[in-house]
Amino acid sequence: AGQRPYGYSRFFVRIDPYLTFDADNEIRVECRTHLDSRWYAGAGIYRDVHLVVKNPVRIATDGVRVTTPDIEAERAVVEVAVEVENSGAVTSTVRCAATIKAGDGSAVADTTSLVTLLPGTRATLRHRLYVATPALWSVDGPYLYTAEVELREADEVLDQESTRFGIRSLQLDPVQG
């Protein structure tokens, strides 16, 4: 189904084309050594191996990105970009909800949007949320928020992801560095 020549790199293999549905399937992860190593003749798998089961309409792998492009004392803008994909055979309209939660678990901002995906397509939803009087992340006070994203079709939850992040800005200039 797939291969990766370097044991330290993260990668994904779609195995659903190789599965027999409504039957038992054997999934093997093998490691083979070859005579093509540059500096180390050993072999191995150096990362965790996971079997990920998702719906045909889902949040893409590594599909949630959080940025904080504008930060002031009274409010911070948090942008949550969500890549959604449809590998199913039918067009689907789903609701994507994004919620920002403070360190104590309370919701400080939320929004929802709809997206319609044709079969075999992807879309990126961009949510812009505002956090009032943000607690800024620093080395001395590493305050973290959580962005929770949920995909729903009618009353069914199709997928969900959460990402922890800190509100902080970095700036470089030629005078101050």
**pLDDT, tens digit (0-9, with 9 covering 90-100), for 95-149:** 999 999 999 999 999 999 999 999 999 999 999 999 999 999 999 999 999 999 9
- Residue 104 is encoded by which pair of tokens? 């104590």
Q: What is the pTM of this model?
A: 0.83
> Do the Cβ atoms of 24 and 61 come closer than 8 Å?
no
> Do the Cβ atoms of 94 and 158 come closer than 8 Å?
yes
Question: What is the tally of helices (H) and strands (E) in the chain?
Answer: 0, 7
**pLDDT, tens digit (0-9, with 9 covering 90-100), for 8-57:** 778 888 888 899 989 999 998 887 766 655 566 556 777 788 888 899 99
Query: Looking at the DSSP assignment, which residues form a beta bridge with residue 117?
Result: 92
More confident of the two residues 172 and 131: 131
